[in-house]
Structure formats: C-alpha cells, structure tokens
Amino acid sequence: MSYGKWIGGGLGWAFGGPIGAILGFAIGSMFDSAKKGKYEHGRTRSGDFGVSLLILSAAVMKADGKVLKSEVDFVKRFFVRQFGVEETRKKMLLLKEILKQNIPVQDVCLQIRQYMDIASRLQLMHFLFGTALADGHIDTSEINVIHFIAGYLGISQGDYDSIKAMFVKDTESAYKILEIYPDASDQEVKAAYRKMAVKYHPDKVAHLGGKIQKVAKEKFQQLNNAYGEIKKERMMV
C-alpha cells in the first residue's frame, strides 16, 4: 500500500526526521523514505505544506488542554477547499491520530524551516492564528505556542506581530500589520505598505497551488484594509 498516496501525495522533503516519525506512527507504518532518512530537496510542494499545517495545527489545538470541534472544523474546511472531500476525510483521520501524540514542536519547526521557503512559512502562521481563533477566542496558551512556533520557524518578531494583529485587534492593529509605529510619517506609512505588499503578495505562494494562493489573497486583503484604515484616519492621498 502506498502510504504517501494515502495521505494526499506530493510529499517531497517531509518524509524523514520528526515529521516522518509523526506520520509513521500515525498511520502505523514508517515510510520507506523515513527509514532511510532521505529528503528530496527543492521547493515546497502543496503536500509538504499540508502535512506541516496538519501537525502544527494539532500542536496549537492541544495548547489549552482541550481540542474543540470548532478548531477541527476550521482545519477540515481548509482542507476541503485545498484537497477535496475524499482527501480531507483521510487527513482528518490522520489528524485524529496526530492529536494523540506528544508533538516535538521544536524539532518539527526546525525541519520545516530547513526545507520551506519564508513565504510559505508566513502563510502557515496565518493559518495557525485562524485555527486558534476558530472558537471566537484566542487563549493565552495558544498564543504562547504560536509564538514559540514562530521563533523556531525563523519568523521575525515584526512579521509575527503583523500576522497576530490581523487576528488579535487593538487600537494599533493597522500599524502593527504594516510593521510600523503610530508616530510614523505619511511617507514611512507608504513605504511600509509597499514593502509589505511585496512580502505578502499572493504570487509568493503560487507554487503551493491556486487554492492556497487564494487563501493568501485573503491575507493580502487584510494588509490593504489596514493601509486603507490608516489613510482614512490621516486623510492621506
């Protein structure tokens, strides 16, 4: 039986190391590639992203000591949109088994960091905050785990604060999204927007497939909304 195909196929670098061990335990048999400790180097594929997302989502769900149906449903909806109903059914069975495990979050993050490009890692962070907020509230323990994950994924504090501000709102959220302070000049606001627009442009994750790129467009819209809010507040032209 092809276990790689069973979990959705397309996996390249996510066959060995801690991720391979987690998947091997979850489906009852280690992948041949994991046993050999081999990786396929190259660009992140949709399958790599999906498996990474599944494991880190499980870590966030378990952070507050209870796994909520709303969180599982959020993950399920995402996978239905990306992979279809049949593959989602398989991945939800896999998630159920992953949730039973002690997840070595640091080791998993270091593996992802080694093989996944920064644009894909930023998209992962966006999804993890969405999972935590699925029940309408983000627990402090969930934020702590996501911050821990961000550190080992090599996400800068500025990028972390920017993505967090898209989900945890306060009076300075729009500025945090643009990674600037409220006392920034109008020219600094414009420059920050141009920089962030390049960083979060959906084309950066085009290699993960059109459906994940569509999710990235939603994040990009939040950036535009933040910029629009600041422009309106300052009456900028």
Domains of the chain: 3-168 (1.10.3680.10)
Residue 113 confidence (pLDDT): 92
Residue 44 confidence (pLDDT): 55
Residue 47 confidence (pLDDT): 67
Distance CA 31, CA 64 (A): 31
Residue 46 confidence (pLDDT): 62
The fraction of the chain above a pLDDT of 70, given in percent, is: 84
Q: pTM for the full model?
A: 0.78
Residue 101 confidence (pLDDT): 86
**Total number of residues shown for the chain:** 237
**Residue holding tokens 């497939």?**
209
**Residue holding tokens 């993890």?**
128
Among residues 223, 176, 235, the alpha carbon closest in space to that of 198 is found at 223
Q: What is the pLDDT along the chain (237 residues), one digit of tens a residue?
A: 444 444 433 444 555 678 877 777 776 533 444 444 444 444 556 667 888 888 999 999 898 888 888 888 988 888 887 778 888 888 888 888 889 888 999 999 999 998 889 999 999 999 899 888 887 888 899 899 999 999 999 999 999 999 999 998 888 999 999 999 999 999 999 999 999 999 989 999 888 877 778 778 888 899 999 999 999 998 887
Residue 147 confidence (pLDDT): 97
